[in-house]
Amino acid sequence: MTFPTTRPTLLARAREGDNDAWYQFAHAYTQPALDFLCRKFGLKEPDAEDLWQELLLKLHTRSLRTYRAEAGRFRSWLMHALRRKFLDWLASTRAERRDERKTVSGDEPLLVDEPEGATRFDQLEDEQRRSYEEQYPEVQAQLESWLGDYPDKRAQKGLRPTEKEIYLAWFWNYDGLTDKELAARYGLNRHHLDYIREKVEVHLRKRWQRETGI
């Protein structure tokens, strides 16, 4: 289902707190938003519903009032908001799975010819990595674009990996490493990795706010 043509009067009333207009807005955009999240990013419907409900709450309480017509069509603005929400969800989900990896043990191998020590969790990580590679090139391109003007101190000093490279390695984390393991791979401690991650995400949030006003 495609996004409906935005009715300026409905949008204006919803922004002003008209409950009837808000319910009409939510009804009109919910299914297209869920279809967009599932089709574009391969989300399962329960995850898409959770993500959309979180964004709806944010739109209802504050963000919808930040939209300005001069910024472009509302449906484009909303799809941009959905992409950003997905990026937040993806980063938090991968962080949770890294934490789970610390405690998961005792799973039986899925296949008899699996390498010794492989677990069901390892198998899921491999499937997830392939899914990211196949389904999320747009997400990677968006991150690269937003990080294009990031003031990378390590890059300025000629150090490798750069802060941008470290953040992208943390974000995608194809090998399913814990934060401590990932930091060690790059010769960092856990606190330094957290510092770089938080610094980059401040930049990403500022870029997002400049583009959408949210």
pLDDT at 121: 40
What does DSSP assign to residue 150?
A: -
Residues of the chain under the 50 pLDDT cut:
104-125
Tens of pLDDT, residues 117-160: 434 444 444 555 555 555 566 677 778 888 889 999 999 999 88
pLDDT at 163: 94
Q: Domain boundaries in the chain? A: 108-212
pLDDT at 34: 92
pLDDT at 140: 74
Q: Which H or E run contains 69?
A: none
pLDDT at 38: 85
Nearest to 186 by CA among 202, 201, 197, 199: 197
Long-range contacts from 12-15, C-beta under 8 angstroms, 24+ separation: 14/64, 15/64, 15/65, 15/67
Q: Report the distance separating Cα 33 and Cα 53, nearest Å.
A: 10
